[in-house]
Amino acid sequence: MRLLSIHQVPESYREPGILCGYRPPRSSARACLRSLFCMNNETLNVWTHLVPAGYFLWLFQGWLRVGWPDPRIWPFLAFLGTCCLYPLASSAAHAFSPVSDRARHLGYCCDYTALSLYSLGSALAYSAYVFPLEWIGSTFHECYIPVAVVNSVLSTGLSCYSRFLEAERPQLSKASRISAFVYPYIFDSIPLFYRLWRCGAGGCSDGSIPLHLRHSLCALLTCTIFTSRLPERLAPGRFDYIGHSHQVFHVFGILGTHFQLEAVSMDMAERRGRLPLPSSLETFGSLGMAAITSLAIIRICSLALPREKSH
């Protein structure tokens, strides 16, 4: 596949600091698949999520096989399912983004939806296994999952809407997209932040705390790298193929998810019987409701996007 420079592709395809390695717009799906095995500025964006997605799927089938009969495992399975979903959606969006402008926008809307569902999956796992024991049964605990469902839907809506702002108001678009994911993460993590604060203030013996700290650090690095666009902003053209911020952002995001999975599974084992058993309706009903609503948002966005001109 012939690669293009930044001046040879439309404005919407350009990435600040990335000068070369762009795939031609209106590439066929077959050409996009072939491009995954040739170096371009999206190759590692795909593989840094596709390979971990395979690993998470392997974990999922293992847990599903041994844990499905036990309802206490269901929130963890729902969470692990969303951990598989978001890197798969991201890989597909990056892989097929040059097919058309419409495919590019819809692909990334599906990517954002998967991330929003991952935030809800995290909330389901935190509610079932991570919540501070003294908060169990509180008003906040009872409202936690319903609010997380609303946050997930709002995250999908705001992030998808940000696609329509890119051309005219790029700064507002980026700020909207960042807010769409930072706010649900902060809300979901309130119980975790309290546990981390309590352990830091008085000490505790929870074995999962170091893993939760690593996850939190990776989340902070992920957000910082995504917003700063380092290192390519400091040296445009030097990191076109390897080492630009989106690749590093993917790596730290996946590492954070790995630590999060390990921490939640440890909490699930150590705190079994100490937290109330969530109902299947709360677990899968909440996830299904958010998924259906988010798919409706994607459908609305697809209707709002201009149709591709036939040639």
pLDDT above 70: percentage of residues in the chain:
99
- Asked if 246 contacts 232 with a C-beta cutoff of 8 angstroms, the reply is no
Single-letter amino acid, residue 203: G
pLDDT average, residue stretch 291-300: 96
pLDDT value of position 311:
42
Q: Which domains does the chain have, with CATH numbers?
A: 41-304 (1.20.1070)
Record the tokens describing residue 229, joined without a space.
């666009």
pLDDT value of position 82:
98
Bigger pLDDT: 204 or 149? 149
pLDDT value of position 201:
79
pLDDT value of position 310:
47
Lowest mean pLDDT among 30-34, 105-109, 199-203: 199-203
> What are the pLDDT digits (tens) for 80-135?
999 999 999 999 999 999 999 999 999 999 999 999 999 999 999 999 999 999 99
pLDDT value of position 170:
85
Among all chains, which residue has been given the structure tokens 């935190």? Answer: 126
Bigger pLDDT: 307 or 218? 218
Lowest mean pLDDT among 151-160, 192-201, 299-308: 299-308
pLDDT average, residue stretch 278-286: 88
Q: Provide the 8-state DSSP code for 129.
A: I
pLDDT surpassing 80 at residue 309: no
- Asked if 282 contacts 145 with a C-beta cutoff of 8 angstroms, the reply is yes
| 13/27 Cα distance (integer angstroms) | 13
pLDDT value of position 273:
75
pLDDT above 90: percentage of residues in the chain:
83
pLDDT value of position 279:
80
pLDDT value of position 66:
85
Bigger pLDDT: 166 or 289? 289
pLDDT surpassing 80 at residue 156: yes
Q: Which of 121, 116, 109, 111 is nearest to 91 (CA)?
A: 111
Directed axis angle between helix 101-125 and helix 139-163, to 10°? 170
Lowest mean pLDDT among 34-38, 116-120, 305-309: 305-309
Q: What pTM value is reported for the model?
A: 0.95
Helix or strand run (H / E) with residue 148: helix 139-163
Lowest mean pLDDT among 33-37, 176-180, 259-263, 275-279: 275-279
Question: Predicted confidence band at 308 (pLDDT cuts at 50, 70, 90)?
Answer: low
> What are the pLDDT digits (tens) for 46-66?
999 999 999 999 999 999 998
| 68/144 Cα distance (integer angstroms) | 24
pLDDT surpassing 70 at residue 78: yes
| 129/135 Cα distance (integer angstroms) | 12
